[in-house]
Every structure is written in C-alpha cells, then in structure tokens.
Amino acid sequence: MDQPRSEYPRPQFVRPQWLCLNGTWQFEIDAGDSGLERGLRDRELAGTITVPFCPESALSGVGHVDFMNAVWYRKVVEIPAAWDGREVLLHFGAVDYETTVWVNGSERARHRGGFTPFTCTLAGAAGPGQTATIVVRARDGRGEAKAGGKQSVAYANSGCHYTRTTGIWQTVWLEPVPAVRFGRPRITPDVPGRRFRLELPLEGPRAGCRIRATLSDAAGAIARAEVPADQAFTPQLDLAVPADRLKLWGPGEGHLYDIALELVDAGGAVVDAASTYAGMRSIVIDGMAVRINGGSVFQRLVLDQGYYPDGIMTAPTDEALRRDIELSLAAGFNGARLHQKVFEERFLYHADRMGYLVWGEFGDWGCSCRWNGASIEQLSRHDPMVSMMGQWAEALQRDYSHPCIVGWCPLNETHAAIGDRMDMLDDLTRGLFLVTKNADRSRPVLDASGYAHRVARADVWDSHDYSQDVEQFRRRQGGIGAGEPFYNSREISVAYGGQPYFCSEFGGIRWTDQPDGWGYGEAPATIEEFYARFEGLCAALLDDAAVFGYCYTQLTDVFQEQNGLYRFDRTAKFDLPRLRAAQGRTAAIERR
C-alpha cells in the first residue's frame, strides 16, 4: 500500500531532507483518560490506525464515531544515519485537541489546540542512526469548552454540526536541521516598490554568519541580496523585481516567484539552505472597494468547510484539495471563505498556484457556553478564550506569507447582547482583532463574521442573510449605499462605521434527494426555480455598487446539510455553465 498523504507538508518553507511518518501506527482508545495511570505510555497498544486520518474516519481503518476522551498512538522509527551531525525535529501538522508527546520515554511536547502545527526536538532523546519510540496522547474530552469548529458536541450529527475529529489528522514528519538555522520566513510583497520584504528568524549561534537570498522566475535568477545574520534579532532583506520581470499575482493569475535561501558561516560554508516562494500582489481599501493590484475585484466567494466523506477534516489525497478549488472555479467563483477550520497548508499552496482568493478563518465554535453548555467550573479550569488567542496566533504565523489569503476572520456568528457593562465577548473580539492587526498590516481584518460586531473600526463589515425571497433579500441588502447595512441583530453589534461591506453568507438553497437532508428555507419546486433563486440572490449583490463581494453557502453538501452546489462526494448537482453565467456579469463596484 502506498504511503498516505506523502507529499511535502510545508510547501512554503522547504528543506530537501525529511521523513514522512504517515502510515500504520499502533493505536488505542482510552475511554476514561486513565491511560497514563494504566501504563499505556510504556507498552504496546492494542490496535492500529492509518495516520494522518482521524479514528472517526473510514480511511483511518478505525471508524469509531463515539466520544473518545483520550487516544494513544505509538510508532517506532529508525532515524536515518545519513542525518548525522544534525538535530532532528518532530513535526505535527495538527492534532485535536490537547496533546502530549514522548520520545523514548522523555516528554518532548505539550500543545493545546486542534487546528495548528507544533514541533519538538528529539535532541537528548534520539538522534541520527538511532531508534525513536514516539508515543502520543491526544485528549478530546466531552463537554469541555474548546475551539472545535463544526464538530458535533452531541453523539450524533445534527444541523450544521458534523462528525468529530479526534487526535492526529495532519501529517507527522521528521526533519534534520543544523545547529544554526532558519526559522520560517515571513514575506511581504510591495507592489509600488516592486520588491519583496523578507524577515528571516534564526535559531542557534550566528556570529559571523550571513544570509543570502536569490529570487527567480521561470526564466532564471532575477535578484540577489545578502545581509549579516548577527546584526539584528530578525534579519531583513529586500529582493527587488525589475519592471520587465514584474508579474502580479491575482484572481486566476497564480504567478509565483521562487526564493532560495542560504545561511553561510564566517568561512563561507553553507550551514542551512531552504526554499520558499512568493506572489506579488497588493490589497488596498478604497472607499467601499477592496482593490487587488489597484483594481476593484468583486470577490465571488463560496463557503468551503473542508469536510470529506471518508477523511472527515482530512482530504483523502493532495489531489482532492486541488480538485475542490477546481470545482469552485468551474461554478464561477474566484475564491472561498475557509469556514470554521484552519485548512491544511497544502490547500493554500494550491490556491497560491491557481490564483484563488481565500479568507482565513478560525474554528472558534465550541469556545462559548452557547455551543456546548460548559459549566463555570469548566471555564475556570480551561478558559477557551485564552487558549484561542495562542492558537489563532499560530495560524497567523503559519499562513502569513501565502498570497492567496486576502483577509482574516477569527470569529464567526458570535452572540451576546450589548449591555451597560463590557463582557468577555468584547474583550475576546477586540483582542483577536488586535492580535491579527499586529501580526499582519497588509490585509483587511473582519472582527467577526455575521452577528456580533464589536470593533467599531474593523476594516470591513458583513452580515449573514439566508432570506430565500429574492425581493426581500434585495431590500434587506440594499441599504448599504445609504449607510444602512443589514444587521443580523442591532442589539449585539456596535454601529456600522462606513467600511466596505460584503454579505459573507447567503443562499444555502436546499436541494436534496435525502429525506433527512436540510438547507435554508423551502426547497425550490423545480430545477428552474432553483436557478432563478440562485441568479436573483447573486444579482442583488452584484448589482449593488456599495458591495465588494459575497460568499455563497456552500461548495458541497456536508453530511446532513444538503445545500451544496456539489454533493458530498463532489459529483455535480447543477448545470455548471448556468451557475457561472449567473455570476459572470461585471459587478457594479468593478465599474466604478
């Protein structure tokens, strides 16, 4: 059997040597979370699982969909002797939810959060030419308040809550690194200055070292730059692009430049080397327009939840990630809102290559009592609001340099009435907004998608509107030009401040052949009625010169939620040329 998901998991920061650990691991469910007391850390486990698929999924070979308070993994790995002289890092793409890692009996890492990567060193526990026994415990307790996105907090799926993901669900891998080395580069394009600004964090002693960077395109090298590595806490350098080699990244134009990085010591020897890539594009707010590369681009987005029938939150193959973008483009969209989930980085890589616009989002649902009935005692033991800050910062750090991302949104559909006293939601929304703005000054930030806007001067404003009556929808959405946006509830939001506006959830038209399938409103009686409703809802927003974009719900059916433009298995439900035609007109804001 071929190794599952064997493609390089970190495509925007590549070192040539690595070892994928996906495949068969020992596995055991720890129903009572008593495994440490019972010695599971130090013995063989009872069963097996196929990593990186979660135990709830069919692809894992386990298929256990009940609650699992804890699960254990064990794998014995021979570290290549050819890596001699280097430190070995163990990377986890994502593990849900609270993880402890031991290597040869030594605790190596603790991490909380189900969507973001973490890394530990094997130094002192195992090295090149040695055997490493890796043991992982993942806790995912029932009833605990935690960011889980759309994962069901009841046994069964219902409404827009789906089968849970427990434990490892993204690639696990080893990487040899030198004592002095690059951290993940941070790349900011500067279109007016025709340059890329690189920030290059370093680890280890660097006295006398220098950094070299080479920018290339398909025709060869374009620019080179070199800076001392020991003159700044985070060295920076610029790579200029001559006018005759300048090509912008934009919708449908996924042009990327390659960047080769070298860290050389005082004697001129290369001690670390890595490659990355970048796209040259700008994002600017101009009145009610969000301009990309100076032009007003109507963002025709689709809600993409990133679920799969056989892999749950993990795509069965890398090709499946790319295929979802192709399906969206085929239906007439130019981007997606990645909903209630931090997607696998490979998805962003394909979006970069295909010129596909993306709004990055966090899976915040589950953080509040509203979603899972967490008690005050539980919240005091583990305040999910505090935990979420660190997880969102990890997501921003991982994804900052991807050109496909054109906006950020850390919260979705938060609720709480505005009272005389400020509350936790005020603090959380403001805190996440500021965390995002401080991490990234190059993109717009939406404080919360739909419902409870709490930051008066967030960069953009939105609403969710699932009215199925086209004329009612047009009236409700039509006031933005006069400064009167549609509010999901005035009692939970601060006043609109004149920002650019988009309807970030609409449609969701029910179309299913399953008796228990659901969507919004009454299902159309005929296929022609579906097309008329779809065309009318899209037109209401495309024709409004004060609206910069929309997000249609949704790309595919997800389990019982049967309102996708494709079935859950990705087969088409509708005439794709007809869907494209409905969105193909030039939007009013693009004509301004």
**Which of 211-225, 381-395, 410-424 is predicted most confidently?**
211-225
Which run of H or E residues covers position 296? strand 295-296
**Distance from C-alpha of 356 to C-alpha of 250, rounded to nearest angstrom:** 8
551 - beta bridge partners?
301
For range 519-530, the mean pLDDT: 95
- Per-residue pLDDT of 472-515, as tens digits, reads 999 999 999 999 999 999 999 999 999 999 999 999 999 998 88
8 A C-beta contact, residue 353 and residue 254: yes
Residue 368 confidence (pLDDT) above 80? no
Residue 418 confidence (pLDDT) above 60? yes
- Per-residue pLDDT of 233-273, as tens digits, reads 999 999 999 999 999 999 999 999 999 999 999 999 999 99
Check residue 515 and give its pLDDT: 80
- Per-residue pLDDT of 40-79, as tens digits, reads 999 999 999 999 999 999 999 999 999 999 999 999 999 9
For range 364-374, the mean pLDDT: 58
Check residue 1 and give its pLDDT: 64
Average pLDDT in the chain: 95
Residue 277 confidence (pLDDT) above 70? yes
- Bigger pLDDT: 380 vs 453: 453
- Per-residue pLDDT of 318-330, as tens digits, reads 999 999 999 999 9
CATH of domain 283-591: 3.20.20.80
Check residue 422 and give its pLDDT: 87
Check residue 383 and give its pLDDT: 67
CATH of domain 19-177: 2.60.120.260
Q: What is the pTM of this model?
A: 0.96
- Per-residue pLDDT of 74-126, as tens digits, reads 999 999 999 999 999 999 999 999 999 999 999 999 999 999 999 999 999 99
Three-state DSSP class for 8? coil
For range 545-567, the mean pLDDT: 97
Nearest in space to 551 (alpha carbons), one of 507, 498, 582: 507
Check residue 143 and give its pLDDT: 80
* Residue 78 CB contacts under 8 Å (≥ 6 apart), including other chains: 131
- Per-residue pLDDT of 202-220, as tens digits, reads 999 999 999 999 999 999 9
Structural fold of domain 192-278? Immunoglobulin-like (2.60.40)
Residue 309 confidence (pLDDT) above 50? yes
Check residue 291 and give its pLDDT: 97
* Residue 154 CB contacts under 8 Å (≥ 6 apart), including other chains: 161
- Bigger pLDDT: 419 vs 271: 271
321 - beta bridge partners?
none
For the chain, the domains span 19-177, 192-278, 283-591
